[in-house]
A and B are shown apart, each in its own frame.
Chain A
Amino acid sequence: MLDVRDLSCSRGDRTLFQALSFTLPPGTLLSVTGENGSGKTTLLRALCGLSPVDRGSISWQGRRIADAQQGYREQLAYLGHRNALKDDLSPIENLQAMACIFGQNLDPGSAESALHAVGLGRSCHILATRLLSEGQKRRVALARFWSCERPLWILDEPFTALDANSSRLLRNRLERHLTNRGIVVVATHEEIGIGAGTVQQLRLPG
């Protein structure tokens, strides 16, 4: 369970959000909307523990995330608006490198099946990632969530650059995660249309 109490954040003189409170029990998706520059990314990074906040507390399973540190990071999977892919590596090597950073060994077979699951054909698997289109890169970045067992997912505009078919695949994956009592926080510009779990809406003022 992710519990946020009285969270405030500002950048320079500008207040991005104030006194934000919400509770996300297992099986809940929080959709964060708001205009460009309204603080969606800052909120998501704060939930990850990357950005500092002015006031308020973020707790995971009853412990503040600043105290839990490593314990919290083991529960969390984050996709930023940048894909964290290496242009010079192939999609398979990228997935393996990412798994390594998180302390797992990913064999090429599992990496390939993850890429298949996001609809990337075999011909793309060994190309250098810089040769792929934006949408394809986004799919490679999302592929690691297909085998991700971590309960809390924080996704910053995951639907950007995706075509209709891959958006549908991602929706299905999110629904499956919610059915497995996972928690998802998504920053988005569009209606997500998830049919599983409970969906909470949070609109950040501009």
Chain B
Amino acid sequence: MKNSPLTAAMWGLLRRDLLLAWRRRSELLTTLFFFVIVAGLFPLGIGPEPATLRTIAPGVVWIAALLSCLLSLHRLFAVDYQDGALEQMLLAPQPLSLLVMSKVCAHWIAAGFPLVLLSPLLGLQFGLTGSTLWVLVCSLLLGTPVLSALGSIGAALTLGIRGSGLLVALLTLPLFVPVLIFGAGAVVSSDAGLGAEAHLSLLGACLVLATVFAPWATAAALRIALE
């Protein structure tokens, strides 16, 4: 299995993208700082009332995660497009959608997963405790890969267009809405003492759908962008 061309291509591309992300880690740190700062400013602006903070916590952390994910999305294919590597990916014998899946995976590991790791700290800052904190982490763990996958469609559609950063946001934010509702909803209902299972399983369903369909749509958009 290790030597099959498809695994070599997918695994190799994932490793290459992670290596590139590591060599340019300042960019990723920027998005991470953005996440912390946006979520950190709310308590300062709204005031230290614990009940209020607990109420807004799920929405604020989720919106901050969503925005910081958007910050790094428009670069997902732009660099490969400019230096010609994307052209070579289109010519590779391996299915483009699977190569896209590798790139999305790398984007999530580099830009999404650190947010999940930081989220308990931010949750504590808003006074979330115990199981609610866990639900926050779980909802982000299920939700951020969906953001990367859906975002890749927007990044591919706006390839080579001027001002693509803003356009990616306009295109993908509506797609992110269900993820935001289910993700923040899971934390809210857990905090209210209701089970979070329903919301989390809906998020899981989003993740499955996005993993199956998004790379395929992204691949189609990339072929059009490179014509």
A interface residue numbers (CB < 8 A to B):
48-52, 70, 73-74, 76, 78, 80-89, 93, 96-105
Contacts and interface: CB of A to CB of B under 8 A. Distances in A.
Interface string B88-106: 1111111100010000000
B45 interface: no
B8 A84 contact: no
Contacts of B4: 103
A49 B223 CA distance: 10
Contacts of B93: 70, 73-74, 102-103
B40 to A, nearest CB: 31
B227 A88 contact: no
Interface string B4-24: 111011011101100110011
Interface of B: 3-6, 8-9, 11-13, 15-16, 19-20, 23-24, 82-85, 87-95, 99, 226-227
B12 A84 contact: no
B83 A100 contact: no
B3 A100 contact: no
Contacts of B94: 101-103
B227 A78 contact: no
A103 B24 contact: no
B82 to A, nearest CB: 8
B24 A88 contact: yes
Contacts of B87: 50, 78, 80, 82, 84
B208 to A, nearest CB: 27
A101 B94 CA distance: 8
Contacts, number: 90
Given A78-B91, A103-B5, 15 more contacts: A50-B226, A80-B84, A83-B83, A83-B84, A85-B83, A100-B8, A100-B9, A101-B12, A101-B89, A101-B94, A102-B5, A102-B92, A102-B94, A103-B9, A104-B5
Nearest to B89: A101
B19 A101 contact: no
A97 B14 CA distance: 10
B227 to A, nearest CB: 6
Contacts of A52: 227
Given A93-B19, A103-B8, A48 B84 contact: no
A52 B224 CA distance: 10
Given A74-B93, A76-B91, A102-B93, A82 B9 contact: no
Contacts of B13: 97, 100-101
A104 B90 CA distance: 16
Contacts of A76: 91
A38 B162 CA distance: 26
A88 B20 contact: yes
